[in-house]
Amino acid sequence: MSSYKNRISQFNEMLADPIIDLLKFKTLCFEGIPDHPSLRSLSWKILLEYLPLKKSDRIIELSRHRLVYKNYVKEIVAHPDHSNKENNVSDHPLNMCQGSQWKTYFKDNEVLLQIDKDVRRLCPDISFFQQETSYSIYTLIDEIGPCETLTKRVDQAILETSVIGTTKGGLRNAIIKKYREEDYTTLEDGKEAHWQVVERILFIYAKLNPGLAYVQGMNEIIGPLYYTFASDPDLNWQEHAEADCFFCFTNLMGEIRDHFIKTLDDSPLGIGQHMNKLFFLLQTKDAELWKDLEAKQMKPQFFAFRWITLLLSQEFNLPDVIRLWDSLFADTKRFEFLLYVCVAMLVLIREQIFECDFPKAMKLIQNFPHETYDMSVIIRKAEELRVVSSYVPVQPDGDLPSKSKETFLQRSKFKKKFSIHVRNKSS
């Protein structure tokens, strides 16, 4: 039996166990999940703690979660309660008082417009997200009659905003018109593309998590998840990809949400601490390279902000991202391993970095030559770095070395919109 077939057999046997041995299962997944029907889709759901380890409990849990999500769609998207807003004479569109339903409505529209803009450009290298899904909102809620869709709401919100923009001189209106002309073409009524499904998931997540809502970059996190679930050959998994993706995304965000909260940037839980951990780790593993980056004044926020926050989803092609996430999701210290992967990427291009001045080095690092290095090579290098000096901690919490602290404090000068970091792919 070939090694590939043997691995498929190992997965099938373990997934068929009455209760999965999680440690053994993670060890198996870490080496990569075979591209075999349903294996990755099912494995990720287990690794992200959406499906229970006990096989007999899975059908019940799936049914329960999918029903909950269907109700979310009905209440938040398909049939939102506008009656109180429309009939309350004391409330009106210009009422910006706390508790005004109109204020909430307009605020939600701002979030929705940002989500809409981001998901329309999701994974532009592949056509999947622009293709029609077989499971639209009408299939999900089992209704034939008319219902509200986010696409209709976006169109209405843009129309309302454009009217306001016109009264202010037309400049904002012109910007909105340009935005609409550059959109992907929407499908006819009754049909939806995959990006519209992702838009719905993100909007529902934002409504249910008002403290965080939606932050640019979440679309890049959900993209590989949804693609993996919605492209599963098993039609049953496909049909429920939206609900399953919502809960897996929610669980994943529960672990990384602090990276998206700006007020936590300087805290031990925020992205700043993780960027400094990355540079501390580089210092312990390759002091020569660390000194070179310091001499070039290459701050971690120039590249590590995007790398860590988006789980490297923007640095590689989708198949490589999916392979990397097999290992990240399976690792018992998954986000510590992410830092080792980041260090491995730097170490692999160290000789090129040495030869570059600051502008060229920054361009090289921000546009990691992923076509040169197979993902298995990067992961293997990360494992080597972790094993070689396993006694070296990944920067304990508390005070940072003075040089690293200085590096982080300078980040405040570079706090621009998140999209600049996310899409900084200079040619």
Round to whole Å and give the CA distance between 313 and 10: 28
Q: What is the mean pLDDT of residues 269-295?
A: 94
The model's pLDDT over 351-389, given as tens digits with 9 standing for 90+, comes to 999 999 999 999 999 999 999 999 999 999 999 999 975
DSSP 91: -
**102 neighbors 91 (Cβ within 8 angstroms):** yes
Residue 218, pLDDT above cutoff 90: yes
What pLDDT does 99 receive?
59
Rounded percentage of the chain residues whose pLDDT exceeds 90: 64
DSSP 183: S
Residue 266, pLDDT above cutoff 80: no
What pLDDT does 290 receive?
97
Burial bucket for residue 204 (CB in 10 Å: 0-12, 13-18, 19+): buried
Round to whole Å and give the CA distance between 113 and 157: 8
pLDDT level of residue 265 (50, 70, 90 thresholds): confident
Q: Which of 92-96, 159-163, 360-364, 410-414 has the highest mean pLDDT?
A: 360-364
Round to whole Å and give the CA distance between 9 and 161: 56
The model's pTM is 0.84
Q: When comparing pLDDT for 81 and 124, which is higher?
A: 124
Which residue, among 335, 330, 341, has the nearest Cα to 48 in the 3D structure? 330
Residue 175, pLDDT above cutoff 50: no
Name, in order, each residue with C-beta under 8 angstroms of 21's C-beta and a sequence gap of 6 or more.
14
Residue 91, pLDDT above cutoff 80: no
What pLDDT does 311 receive?
97
Residue 419, pLDDT above cutoff 60: no
pLDDT level of residue 204 (50, 70, 90 thresholds): very high
Residue 44 is encoded by which pair of tokens? 């990720």
Burial bucket for residue 392 (CB in 10 Å: 0-12, 13-18, 19+): middle
Q: When comparing pLDDT for 425 and 9, which is higher?
A: 9
The model's pLDDT over 323-360, given as tens digits with 9 standing for 90+, comes to 999 999 999 888 899 999 999 999 999 999 999 999 99
Residue 418, pLDDT above cutoff 60: no
pLDDT level of residue 144 (50, 70, 90 thresholds): low
Residue 183, pLDDT above cutoff 80: no
Which DSSP string do the residues of 96-138 spell out, in sequence order? -STT-HHHHHHHHHHHHHHHHHHHTTSSTTSSGGGSBPSS-HH
Which residue, among 312, 310, 299, 258, has the nearest Cα to 415 in the 3D structure? 299
Round to whole Å and give the CA distance between 252 and 259: 12
pLDDT level of residue 317 (50, 70, 90 thresholds): very high
